[in-house]
Amino acid sequence: MPHTPTPFDAWATAYRRLLETSIEQAGLALPAQPSPAPTASPGAPVCLVFSPHPDDEALVGGLALRLRQESGWRVVNVALTFGSRLERRAERWTELQASCQVLGFDLMCAGEAPGMGLEGVRTADAAANTVLWQLAVRRIEALLDEYKPRVVICPHRLDGHTAHIATALLVEQALESSPALSPHLLQSEYWNTQLEPRLMVALSDADVGRLMLATAMHAGEVSRQPYHLRLPAWLMDSARRGAERVGGEGGTTSATAYAALYGWRRRLRGAWVEMLPRVCPRSQAMGELFPG
């Protein structure tokens, strides 16, 4: 069947060409040393981001970035693992430091030493409650007790990647074993969408640009898959889904081009409490959503 041109052929071609354009071809030189963000105020509320891999802090970092920039929160990215390739771990640690510098996040490793994570922890360990799993849970409990976060961010349980799912199970179990704490748990999505997102976080062009730059700091990863260039499309799709999945079926089109979606619940008096669905536009300060 011969192709009949449509008014949208040029749009599709433009999108594809933009994606295929590398940073060098576009003339967007990456800074060798990103400028550090201002230090968080003493006593500022803490947001802990539990990242299964280096680059997750940027790919799902919209909410944490807004807390950091708008409300002056301290955001601490906890690197859970450094991937399966041993020869890349040192390099990924260096890339992760650059990414967190772009975002203004503090950085620590779950393995207690620079460049060391909780390698090898998987969902099978959770099911069998292995010694490795128990040690990992205790480590996360210790971090929660040390930082006493008001917000915790981790993947949701069906996020489509074994390390992401294991991270979700690990953080949830540690929270359930920490009765003195009652943080808001925000569940991110990347490899798989979640059935019932509860929070839609609007993002500006500048927010998305910073997340892209932070992602691009992971040079080894984006060289094999341009995660940074595809991030705007993911956030645009999240704005589309969030308009109805969070805002309500049949709702009006989202007023924002970009958004990030999160599950949202809180640990109160030993039980999980689901939060009511909320849309957080750019005009609302993120910190107002999470009282102590």
CB atoms within 10 A of CB 100: 28
Distance CA 70, CA 45 (A): 13
For 35-63, the pLDDT digits (tens) are: 666 677 778 999 999 999 999 999 999 99
Counting the structural domains of the chain, the total is 1
**3-class SS of residue 14:** helix
- Domain of 185, CATH number, reads 3.40.50.10320
Q: Give the helix/strand (H/E) hosting 67.
A: helix 62-71
Under 8 Å CB-to-CB from 214, ≥6 apart: which residues? 57, 58, 61, 99, 100, 102, 103
In a domain, 33, yes or no: no
For 68-108, the pLDDT digits (tens) are: 999 999 999 999 998 777 678 889 999 999 999 999 999 99
Q: What pLDDT band is residue 154 in, cutting at 50, 70 and 90?
A: very high
- Domain of 231 in residue numbering reads as 43-283
In a domain, 168, yes or no: yes
In a domain, 10, yes or no: no
What is the overall mean pLDDT for the chain?
91
pLDDT at residue 252 is higher than 70: no
In a domain, 238, yes or no: yes
In a domain, 245, yes or no: yes
In a domain, 137, yes or no: yes
In a domain, 130, yes or no: yes
Closest alpha carbon to 222 in 19, 62, 61, 35: 19
In a domain, 159, yes or no: yes
pTM of the predicted structure, to 2 decimals:
0.93
